[in-house]
Structure 1
Amino acid sequence: MLTQVTSPQQVFFNPQRLIVPLFQRPYVWSKEQQWEPLWNDITRLVETIEAGDGQATHFLGAVVLQGQPTALGGLPQYTVIDGQQRLTTLQILLDALHGQLESRGLSGLAGQVETLVENPEAFRLGPDDRFKVWPTNRDREVFAAAMSASTPVGYTTLPPGRLAEAHEYFSTSIAEWLDENPEDTLTRAATLVPTITTRLQIVSIQLLATEDAQEIFETLNARGTPLTAADLIKNFVFQRFEGDEVETERAYQKYWSDFETPFWEAEVTAGRIRYARSALFLTQWLTARTLRDVPAREVFAQFKRYVAASENDVLTLLKELRAAADRYRLFTERAATRDGSLSRLDLFVYRMSTLDSEVAKPLLIWLGEPEQANIEPEEQTRLLAILESWFVRRALVRAQSKGNNRLLVDLLVALTKRGVDVSIGDAAEGFLAAQASGTGYWPGDAELRREIMELKAYKRLRKGRLRMVLEAIEDRYRGFQDERTFSVSPVPRGICTIEHIMPQEWRANWNASPEQANEEDRDSSIHLLGNLTLVTQSLNARLSNAAWVGDNGKRAALIRHDTLLLTRDVVHEHPYAWTESDIRDRTDDMIEAIASIWPVPDGHRGSSDAAVERAQYRTEVVDLVRAGAVTAGSTLYAKPAAHRGKTAIVNSDGTLLMDGVTYATLSGAARFLQGGGAIAGWQFWCVDPHYTRTMADVRSATAAGPSWDSL
């Protein structure tokens, strides 16, 4: 291994090819995070040199290159193990600089730069040999187009992509800087060129073909934009792929390239953390294969251990991974459809998504593996019904979810080790029914009734999961629970809004006001399950706080426009009034429906502990960011008079940035200003500079509004 401090001139001067392997991630640098800071560093370096510090330099980071065997007479080739983002950006920067110099007739300076972005024609055996750096396959078209374009570059004609955007950014920035004083253009150019080519410093690590590139790659990957688990695993797998360049390309396209499409690159939430879907899937797949709880932070290390212990070669591993990913994508996309019937698996996935639960995904992956092919479809359906009952009942009684990951892995182990005469449904039912009180228990009917009967469901349950429960009850009324359907299709999923039959603002015009002593009872009844139904958004707005009776009343509107069976009995059996006792009767009926949709084994009692710890959903700043109630990058203002003028910036992950320091919570940032002690952070910070609306106000408004459904 040869390590030395070099410059762009030393890295790029010789005729050569620096090839980024196809299994590395595509170009991800952006203007705000990398291009603009780089250009600012360059202009500051120029100013420092002009101010008299002739030895000033700026460090860019490290690159790792591994020499490759080259045929006699061919261009020397190196594989870029790490630093592809820097090398590619430098090529774009240098080419943009070359174009601007040429357009001003500065051919001498332009010639100095040209030798760093193009291999001399005499050394080229093919058209791609023109380029010193050859990026990963996803970026090659736009890179070649930008680097080959004639000056002035018509950027609207280039293929879309970040590299074209980078070229335009640097070209524009260089032009503006050179022309800041037209009389000094030549002088400024004569300083800029050597500053970029010789005073930017790069640590170049050159490896022999026999050295372990993966170890170096893992050590250095934390620099720049962080790599995901998928990036690391891709590099690890294809470094070990046994095949020539053509075979490697073919394997990449067939088994991996789909992971670099929008579906897999999208961010999804697991708990309160967002992951690239590909990284989350790989964690879940590894859990399914190893039957171990794999923390997200350890997935790459665990993956390497799994591969080392596996008897399969890399190609077999890729085939297994691809097959599981295809099944995963299929049930994910089907579960997201709004209309029509779903298979039992797809319905399970949809309902789990409303519970914000990813912990069942390893089991679904395991269930689809070839080793489980002998499980009868009926038993798979029964298994999903059992799991869904366990998940939904626990969510409705607000049982703590801590430890669910570990429990589901234990269930996987139990299912794998079940006896040959034990069905998968019996094994799952027995395992869940046997869980102890508190952690992992399966709530029985008595607890379900006790908790829901008085539960202010609209306030205590997230709107997405509450809507799912109402959808399930509606589908049961339509006959879809037992396949004796009475309707054309199930209710559309995730579309309707939740409506209070007796409105929250009932005092406005809802029948006669009850006696003063009963107003509190009425207020507490409004949010019970029995007072809730589903309507379209447009009907929700029309119903509003209308009275129950009358031509323009809520009952008449529901009769005219609503087709859901959820409200049929309400409107037809209560022509004159809808009261607190009616709400409680309907709540009782709906609890019966829930118990039927998500049953427990005969005689199952669940927890005998009436004091089971309940999950109290605590709203965090990140929830408001996700709901759109607070925008990432917005400013918060300290309300107390002693701290007026102090502000904090909301980060995308819900943390606060104040004076260059990140605070995890509102209270944490407030305590720093206050100098310690207990403090109510939600009341401390305001969202407007006039101090009229606190974060507590935003939280209250968001929790009651439709935007909360997305959480």
Structure 2
Amino acid sequence: MLTQVTSPQQVFFAPQRLVVPLFQRPYVWSRELQWEPLWNDITRLVDAIAAGDSQATHFLGAVVLQTQQTVLGGLPQHTVIDGQQRLTTLQVLLDALHAELVDRGYVGLAGQVEGLVENGESFRVGVEDRFKVWPTNRDRETFAAVMSAPSPVDYRVLPAGRLRDAHEFFARSIASWLDSDASTADSRAGLLVPAVTTRLQLVSIQLQANEDAQEIFETLNARGTPLTAADLIKNFVFQRFDGTDEATEQAYLEYWYAFETPFWEAEVTAGRIRYTRSSLFLTQWLTARTLLDIPAREVFAQFKRYVNSSSGDVNALLKDLKAAADRYRAFTEASESHDGALDRVALFVYRISTLDSELAKPVLIWLGEREQAAITDDERDRFLGVLESWFVRRALVRVQSQGANRFIVDLLTTLSQRPAGARIDDVARDFLTSQRSTVGYWPDDAEVRRELVDLEAYRRLRRGRLRMVLEAVEDRYRGFGIDGQRPFSAAPVSRGVCTIEHIMPQEWRANWGDDTVNDTDRDQLVQTLGNLTLVTQSLNTRLSNAGWTGEAGKRASLIRHDTLLLVRNVVHEHAEAWTEEDIRTRTSSLIDSILAIWPVPQGHVSSTDSAVERAQYRVEVADLLRAGAVSAGAVLYAKPAAYRGSTAIVEENGHLAMADRVFATVSGAARFLQGGGTVAGWNFWCVDETLTRTLADVRSDYASGI
């Protein structure tokens, strides 16, 4: 290994090719985070030199290059192990500088730059030999177009992308800086060129062909834009791939390229952490393969350990990953269809997704692996019914989910070690009914009924999961999902599109006044399950709050706007009135349907007085929003004296926005201000400028039903 401090001129001057491996991520630097700060650093450097500081330099970071063997007479070639974002940005900057110098007639200065971005024609064999740096395959077309565009550059005809945007940014910045004072333009250009080419500094780490490039790559990956677990795993796998360059590229295109498409690069949330979907999938796949609970920070280390302890056949590993990824994408996209019947896997994924849970994904991946090939579709579907009941019932009684990741791993371990011939649905059922801890127990019928009968479901349950439950009841009314019965409707209800409507309106006082009722009791009752339904069209406020009878009444409005069976029984069996007793009766009936849709084994009792301590509600800011205890856009005020004056804004989803950042929890926002450590977020924030009422006070009132 040879390490030295160098400059862009020294790195790029010699005829050579610096090749970014196809398996590294594409160009991701941006104006706000990298281009603009770099340009500001360059202009400050020039100002320092102009002011007489002849030793002024600016350090850019490190690059790692590994020498590759080339045929005699060919261009020397190096693989870019780390620093491709810096090297690519420098090439774009130098090319933009060259173009602006040519436009202004600075031929000599332009000539000093040209040799740093292009290899001379006499050294070229292929078209790509023109370029000093050759990026990963996803960027090659745009890079080549941008770097070979004639001056003046017409950016409108270049392919869209970050590389074009970077070139345009630097070109416009250079032009603005050079033209800001016509009287000094010549001297400014004369300072800019040597400053960029010789006073920017890099640490160049040169590896020989037999040195461990992966170790260096992992050590330096935190520089610049952090790498995801998928980035690190991709680099690790293809560094180990045993084959020619052509075979490596073919394997990349066949097995990995799909991970760099929008579906897999989308950000998704699991718990309180945001991942790219590819990184989350790789975590879940690794969990399914190793039967270990793997924290996000350990995914790459665990992946290396898994590969090193298995056969080490990278080609077989890539095939397994691709097959699992294809299944994962298929059931994910199928679950997002709004209309038509879903197969059992897709329906399971849809319903679990409304619970904001990624916990079941390792189980689905495990089911699709070759070791489970003997499991029949019928056995799998029965198992998913058992697992779905466990998830939904726990969500309805709002059990805390802390520790559930470990619990799912324990379930998978139990399933993997089942006796020969044992069915996984039976094994899962026995495992779940045996649980007595808060993290694993399966709520029985009595507990679910006790929880739902008076629950202000509209306020206490998240809207997506409440809608899913009502959809499931509607589908049961249509005959879907009942063993041994054929549906008597053409299709299930559309998923995720209906709105939740109160039958007796929340604003009941205007047209439903009754001196004999207790206002507080009725306010609570209208939020319960029996007063809620799905409607296929939104009712306007006037119709929604109308009285029950008459042509302009709520009943007539529901008949006109809806065709669902959930509504039909209400409007046809209650022509004269909709009362408190009707709501209670319907609540009990809906609970009966819920218990039938998501059953537990006959005789199952989830707890006794001594076996299970009843789980406490986990209240979130989103719960307070739904209940009207706080409002979207509300300002929260930091209470500790050290942070007085700091505020956060409550967003519609319950997150807190502060200093151009968004936090999923009140403690996360507080830790950001505090700079880390442990903090009681609910007591940290107040809802009034006088700092007399904390969020903890609001939460306490909410939990007490005040």
TM-score (norm 2): 0.91
Structure 1 residues 663 and 225 mapped into 2: Cα distance closer, same or farther (>3 Å)?
Answer: farther
- 1:387 to 2:387 alignment: yes
How far is 1:537 from its partner? 4.9
Equivalent residue for 1:353? 353
Structure 1 residues 349 and 540 mapped into 2: Cα distance closer, same or farther (>3 Å)?
Answer: farther
1:19-65 residue CA offsets vs partner (Å, 9 max, x unmatched): 00000000000111111111111111111111221211111110000
- AA at the equivalent of 2:440: G
C-alpha distance in structure 2 between counterparts of 1:230 and 1:422, whole Å? 36
1:128-160 residue CA offsets vs partner (Å, 9 max, x unmatched): 000000000000000000000001111111111
C-alpha distance in structure 2 between counterparts of 1:185 and 1:606, whole Å? 81
Equivalent residue for 2:504? 502
- AA at the equivalent of 1:615: Y
Structure 1 stretches of 4+ moved >4 Å: 620-624, 635-640, 642-645, 647-655, 662-672, 675-680
1:257-316 residue CA offsets vs partner (Å, 9 max, x unmatched): 000000000011111211100000000000000111111111100000000011141000
Counting only pairs closer than 5 Å after superposition, residues 167-316 of structure 1 correspond to structure 2 as 167-316=167-316
Structure 1 residues 621 and 150 mapped into 2: Cα distance closer, same or farther (>3 Å)?
Answer: farther
C-alpha contact (below 8 Å) 1:8/1:201 kept by paired residues: yes
Equivalent residue for 1:160? 160
- AA at the equivalent of 1:487: S
C-alpha contact (below 8 Å) 2:501/2:535 kept by paired residues: yes
1:479-530 residue CA offsets vs partner (Å, 9 max, x unmatched): 11225212111111111111111111111212x32436x2121111011011
- 1:145 to 2:149 alignment: no
C-alpha distance in structure 2 between counterparts of 1:622 and 1:215, whole Å? 48
- 1:430 to 2:430 alignment: yes
How far is 1:534 from its partner? 0.8
- AA at the equivalent of 1:471: E
Equivalent residue for 1:551? 551
Counting only pairs closer than 5 Å after superposition, residues 448-487 of structure 1 correspond to structure 2 as 448-482=448-482, 483-487=485-489
Structure 1 residues 666 and 695 mapped into 2: Cα distance closer, same or farther (>3 Å)?
Answer: farther
% identical equivalent positions: 64
How far is 1:650 from its partner? 6.9
Equivalent residue for 2:44? 44
Equivalent residue for 1:107? 107
C-alpha distance in structure 2 between counterparts of 1:548 and 1:297, whole Å? 57
C-alpha distance in structure 1 between counterparts of 2:409 and 2:590, whole Å? 33
Equivalent residue for 1:515? 516
1:619 to 618, 621, 624: 621
Equivalent residue for 2:597? 597
Question: Which segment is superposed worse, 454-463 or 241-250?
Answer: 454-463
Structure 1 residues 684 and 671 mapped into 2: Cα distance closer, same or farther (>3 Å)?
Answer: farther
Unaligned 5+ runs, structure 1: 704-711
- AA at the equivalent of 2:563: T
C-alpha contact (below 8 Å) 2:467/2:496 kept by paired residues: yes
Structure 1 residues 137 and 457 mapped into 2: Cα distance closer, same or farther (>3 Å)?
Answer: same
How far is 1:192 from its partner? 0.6
Equivalent residue for 2:687? 683
How far is 1:637 from its partner? 8.1
Structure 1 residues 105 and 649 mapped into 2: Cα distance closer, same or farther (>3 Å)?
Answer: farther
C-alpha distance in structure 1 between counterparts of 2:575 and 2:649, whole Å? 51
- AA at the equivalent of 1:513: D
C-alpha distance in structure 2 between counterparts of 1:181 and 1:649, whole Å? 44
- AA at the equivalent of 1:142: T
C-alpha distance in structure 2 between counterparts of 1:553 and 1:695, whole Å? 43
C-alpha distance in structure 2 between counterparts of 1:385 and 1:658, whole Å? 43
Equivalent residue for 2:490? 488
C-alpha contact (below 8 Å) 2:636/2:687 kept by paired residues: no
C-alpha distance in structure 1 between counterparts of 2:649 and 2:232, whole Å? 30
Structure 1 residues 136 and 94 mapped into 2: Cα distance closer, same or farther (>3 Å)?
Answer: same
C-alpha distance in structure 1 between counterparts of 2:589 and 2:111, whole Å? 83
C-alpha distance in structure 2 between counterparts of 1:685 and 1:271, whole Å? 31
Equivalent residue for 1:404? 404
How far is 1:646 from its partner? 3.8
C-alpha distance in structure 1 between counterparts of 2:414 and 2:32, whole Å? 50
C-alpha distance in structure 1 between counterparts of 2:117 and 2:135, whole Å? 13
How far is 1:676 from its partner? 12
- AA at the equivalent of 1:455: L
How far is 1:457 from its partner? 0.7
SS in 1 for 2:204: strand
C-alpha distance in structure 2 between counterparts of 1:43 and 1:342, whole Å? 60
C-alpha contact (below 8 Å) 1:16/1:132 kept by paired residues: yes
Counting only pairs closer than 5 Å after superposition, residues 571-610 of structure 1 correspond to structure 2 as 571-609=571-609
Equivalent residue for 1:441? 441
C-alpha contact (below 8 Å) 2:637/2:648 kept by paired residues: no
SS in 1 for 2:79: strand
C-alpha distance in structure 1 between counterparts of 2:623 and 2:146, whole Å? 42
C-alpha distance in structure 1 between counterparts of 2:399 and 2:162, whole Å? 46
Structure 1 residues 253 and 330 mapped into 2: Cα distance closer, same or farther (>3 Å)?
Answer: same
C-alpha contact (below 8 Å) 1:621/1:654 kept by paired residues: no
Equivalent residue for 1:25? 25
Equivalent residue for 1:82? 82
Structure 1 residues 78 and 349 mapped into 2: Cα distance closer, same or farther (>3 Å)?
Answer: same
C-alpha distance in structure 2 between counterparts of 1:651 and 1:225, whole Å? 29
SS in 2 for 1:507: helix
C-alpha contact (below 8 Å) 1:436/1:607 kept by paired residues: yes
C-alpha contact (below 8 Å) 2:638/2:686 kept by paired residues: no
1:415-472 residue CA offsets vs partner (Å, 9 max, x unmatched): 1111113111111111111111422011111111111101111111111111100000
How far is 1:656 from its partner? 3.7
Structure 1 residues 621 and 615 mapped into 2: Cα distance closer, same or farther (>3 Å)?
Answer: closer
How far is 1:242 from its partner? 0.5
Structure 1 residues 671 and 87 mapped into 2: Cα distance closer, same or farther (>3 Å)?
Answer: closer
- AA at the equivalent of 2:297: R
C-alpha distance in structure 1 between counterparts of 2:687 and 2:489, whole Å? 50
Question: Which segment is superposed worse, 67-76 or 482-491?
Answer: 482-491
C-alpha distance in structure 2 between counterparts of 1:227 and 1:494, whole Å? 35
SS in 2 for 1:474: helix
1:225-259 residue CA offsets vs partner (Å, 9 max, x unmatched): 11000000000000000000000000000000000
Structure 1 residues 3 and 267 mapped into 2: Cα distance closer, same or farther (>3 Å)?
Answer: same
- AA at the equivalent of 1:328: Y
Structure 1 residues 117 and 473 mapped into 2: Cα distance closer, same or farther (>3 Å)?
Answer: same
C-alpha distance in structure 1 between counterparts of 2:435 and 2:153, whole Å? 68
C-alpha distance in structure 2 between counterparts of 1:622 and 1:120, whole Å? 67
Equivalent residue for 1:131? 131
C-alpha contact (below 8 Å) 2:88/2:133 kept by paired residues: yes
- AA at the equivalent of 2:685: G
C-alpha contact (below 8 Å) 1:656/1:664 kept by paired residues: no
- AA at the equivalent of 1:339: D
Equivalent residue for 1:3? 3
C-alpha distance in structure 1 between counterparts of 2:666 and 2:452, whole Å? 37
Counting only pairs closer than 5 Å after superposition, residues 591-670 of structure 1 correspond to structure 2 as 591-609=591-609, 611-619=613-621, 646-648=645-647, 654=656, 656-657=658-659, 664-665=667-668
- AA at the equivalent of 1:322: K
C-alpha distance in structure 1 between counterparts of 2:525 and 2:102, whole Å? 77
C-alpha distance in structure 1 between counterparts of 2:195 and 2:632, whole Å? 43
C-alpha contact (below 8 Å) 1:401/1:615 kept by paired residues: no
C-alpha distance in structure 1 between counterparts of 2:620 and 2:30, whole Å? 35
Structure 1 residues 224 and 399 mapped into 2: Cα distance closer, same or farther (>3 Å)?
Answer: same
